[in-house]
């Protein structure tokens, strides 16, 4: 690498490295309850609290409840790990490895000795008997916290899921990674130019943060990898984003949305805004009269809550969410809380709260404090109040948008805020170190070392 290039990279590398080290040291214990847990062997009058789901909200509740001496805590999740979903797209595009964004639940809760962790699939809730049903087993509860998150919504077209998989789990990310990388390998062997072009066409359905981030990451993968590893494919790959709204990032300020669109176009991404998907078949996406031939189609158009409403036998709201009160409890089900993406909750101004990690974490902490308070005294806790810390979306290297209250940022400053925020929210010291190091290496070398097809 030339000295002039190193000098140009010196400042961003120094800033990114310093920020990463500072955040790792400053946030190593961020969000952890203070003090040592009492070592008493038995609490005969402990209340049985069951948390279903170890995402952002569930894990936050567990960490704050785990030190209460009068709580017998059980955490249930169908996976054995907590997953940092906002960075799943980087696993899918070979920028990070799965273990960089996932932490074993038992490892996270290991310091809290009186927490029982069960890897089980919840099939129902018996609110009369106050039991969580997991197949043939039943787990009794006095207080229940449901934080099972969301799943892709295909708006009544469930058959589309076979054509356009979503991105919600590690399995999803690894499957997409193999499909994306495999497309390049197959394209080098394609004798028919039409077949090659089909394999090298990637369609993202949905122009929200997930769609924008995924599109930008695939575009960068194509830009950095094809000239070096697949020179014969250079200039043949294309990325298309389809969005039903008239603009991308519809919930951001207009000029931030325009910036995102301009940057994606500069990266070679084709935008189809203001059009709806009307049909799908393997290798084909129908947009009214227009048909896109694509080897890889990724769904990022919407989500819906898991089957919580069905479990509780209550009516569901928009996106299958369960209506909760200002205290995040389900009406007519005292002691049953629903938080995160599964809950339809309102802010103090009456607006519905978005499905963000920050919302889930704040709700998880609020519920933990409310439960602990209810065990110690009979006073009524204040209703939940969400503190909005803004919205972020990254488009690519030194390209991002940030909306933090009245502050609007674009470009490198927004990208640095985005990277800082993601490092902060990552669970575990190891994850923060490895992700910071991997991003720094990738920034300098423009290489992605996770290009393994399994």
Residues assigned a catalytic role: 213
Q: How far apart are CA 160 and CA 291, in angstroms?
A: 15
Closest CA to 401 of 388, 415, 389: 415
Number of neighbours of residue 421 by Cβ within 10 angstroms: 19
Query: Per the structure block, which two tokens stand in for 131?
Result: 């039991």
307 burial level (CB within 10 Å; 0-12, 13-18, 19+) = middle
Query: Per the structure block, which two tokens stand in for 127?
Result: 């609110």
Task: Output the CA torsion sign for 243, 258, 390, 26.
Answer: positive
233 burial level (CB within 10 Å; 0-12, 13-18, 19+) = buried
DSSP 340: G
Count CA atoms within 13 Å of residue 302 on its CB side.
Answer: 16
Q: How far apart are CA 414 and CA 408, in angstroms?
A: 8
């Amino acid at each position: 690498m030339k000295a002039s290039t190193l000098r140009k990279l010196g400042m961003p590398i120094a800033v990114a490295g310093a920020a990463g080290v500072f955040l790792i040291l400053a946030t190593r214990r961020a969000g952890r309850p203070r003090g040592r847990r009492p070592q008493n062997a038995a609490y005969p009058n402990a209340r049985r609290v069951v948390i279903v789901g170890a995402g952002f909200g569930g894990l936050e509740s567990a960490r704050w409840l785990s030190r209460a001496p009068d709580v017998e805590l059980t955490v249930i999740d169908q996976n054995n790990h907590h997953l940092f979903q906002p960075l799943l797209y980087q696993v899918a595009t070979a920028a990070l490895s799965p273990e960089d964004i996932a932490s074993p639940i038992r490892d996270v809760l290991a310091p809290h000795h009186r927490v029982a962790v069960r890897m089980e699939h919840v099939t129902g809730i018996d609110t009369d008997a106050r039991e969580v049903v997991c197949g043939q087993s039943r787990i009794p509860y006095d207080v229940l916290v449901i934080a099972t998150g969301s799943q892709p919504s295909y708006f009544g077209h469930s058959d589309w899921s076979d054509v356009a998989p979503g991105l919600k789990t590690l399995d999803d990310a690894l499957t997409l990674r193999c499909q994306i990388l495999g497309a390049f390998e197959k394209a080098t062997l394609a004798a028919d130019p039409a077949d090659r072009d089909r394999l090298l066409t990637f369609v993202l359905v949905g122009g929200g943060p997930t769609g924008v981030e995924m599109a930008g990451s695939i575009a960068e993968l194509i830009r950095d990898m094809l000239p070096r590893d697949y020179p014969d494919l250079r200039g043949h790959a294309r990325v298309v984003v389809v969005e039903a709204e008239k603009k991308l990032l519809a919930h951001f300020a207009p000029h931030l949305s325009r910036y995102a669109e301009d940057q994606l176009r500069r990266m070679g991404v084709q935008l189809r805004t203001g059009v709806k998907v009307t049909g799908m078949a393997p290798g084909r996406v129908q947009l009214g009269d227009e048909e896109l031939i694509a080897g890889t189609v990724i769904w990022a158009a919407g989500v819906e809550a898991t089957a919580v409403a069905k479990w509780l036998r209550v009516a569901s709201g928009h996106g299958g969410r369960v209506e909760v009160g200002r205290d995040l409890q389900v009406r007519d089900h005292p002691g049953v809380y629903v938080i995160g993406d599964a809950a339809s909750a309102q802010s103090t101004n009456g607006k519905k709260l978005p499905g963000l990690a920050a919302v889930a974490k704040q709700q998880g902490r609020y519920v933990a404090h409310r439960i602990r308070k209810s065990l110690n005294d009979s006073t009524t806790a204040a209703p939940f109040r969400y503190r909005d810390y803004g919205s972020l979306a990254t488009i690519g290297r030194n390209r991002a948008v940030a909306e933090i209250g009245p502050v609007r940022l674009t470009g490198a400053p927004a990208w640095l805020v985005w990277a800082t925020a993601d490092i902060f929210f990552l669970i575990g010291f190891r994850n923060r170190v490895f992700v910071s190091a991997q991003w720094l290496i990738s920034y300098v070398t423009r290489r992605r070392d996770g290009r393994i097809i399994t």
